[in-house]
Amino acid sequence: MNEPEVVQVLNQDFLVKEIRFGSREGAPLVRQYTITSYPTYLYFAPDGALLYRRFGNASAAAPYLKDIAAARQALADPHNLSYYQAEYERGNRTVDFLQQYLTKRRQLGQVVEPALLDTYADQLPAKAFDRAADVQFILELGPVVGSRAYRLSHLNNKLIDSLYRVLPLSQRQAMNNLMIARTMSQAIATRNQNMAQEGANFARGTWNNDPLRGARAYENNMLDFYRLTKDTTNYLRQSSWFYERYYMNISTDSARKALAAYEAQQQEQVASRQRLLANGGRPPGVAPGAPTMIATTVRRSGPAPDFVNELNTGAWNVYLTGTRNRDYLSRAVQWSKRTVDLTPRAAYYDTLAHLLYRLRFFAEAEAMQQQAVAHAAPEGMSPQQFEQVLTKMKKHQPL
CATH code assigned at 368? 1.25.40
For residue 188, tell me if it sits in a domain.
Answer: yes
* Residue 122: predicted pLDDT: 97
Pick the range with the lowest mean pLDDT from 232-236, 272-276, 302-306: 302-306
Instruction: State whether 321 and 380 are in the same domain.
Output: yes
CB–CB of 204/196 below 8 Å? Answer: no
> Using CA atoms, how far apart are residues 113 and 105, in angstroms rounded to an integer?
10
Is it true that the peptide bond before 39 is cis, omega within 30 degrees of 0?
yes
Residue 320 in any domain: the answer is yes
How far apart (Å, rounded) are the C-alpha atoms in residues 2 and 382?
Answer: 23
CATH number at residue 54: 3.40.30.10
* 127 and 172 part of one domain: yes
Residue 278: alpha-carbon gap to chain centroid: 35
Residue 321 lies in a domain: yes
- Residue 182: inside a domain, yes or no? yes
Residue that finishes a domain, picked among 210, 231, 251: 210
Is residue 59 included in any domain, yes or no?
Answer: yes
Rounded Cα–Cα distance for residues 71 and 15 (Å):
13
For residue 254, give the nearest of 178, 182, 341, 348 by alpha carbon.
Answer: 341
The per-residue pLDDT for range 114-150, each reduced to its tens digit, is 999 999 999 999 999 999 999 999 999 999 999 999 9
pLDDT per position as a tens digit, 262-282:
667 667 766 766 666 666 555
Mark which of 161, 185, 210 sits at the end of a domain: 210
Domain finish residue from 210, 229, 244: 210
- Render the burial of 21-33: b for 16+ CB within 10 Å, e for the rest: eeeeeeeeebeeb
Statement to judge: residues 120 and 74 lie in one domain: no
In a domain, 312, yes or no: yes
Dihedral sign, CA of 170, 176, 178, 184? negative
Same domain, residue pair 125 and 172: yes
User: Is residue 263 included in any domain, yes or no?
Assistant: no
Higher pLDDT, 294 or 47: 47
Question: Number of structural domains, the chain?
Answer: 3
| Residue 159 and residue 77 share a domain | no
Helix (H) or strand (E) segment spanning residue 55: strand 50-55
* Distance from C-alpha of 1 to C-alpha of 21, rounded to nearest angstrom: 17
Domain ranges, residue 45: 4-84
Within a domain: residue 375?
A: yes
pLDDT of 329 above 70: yes
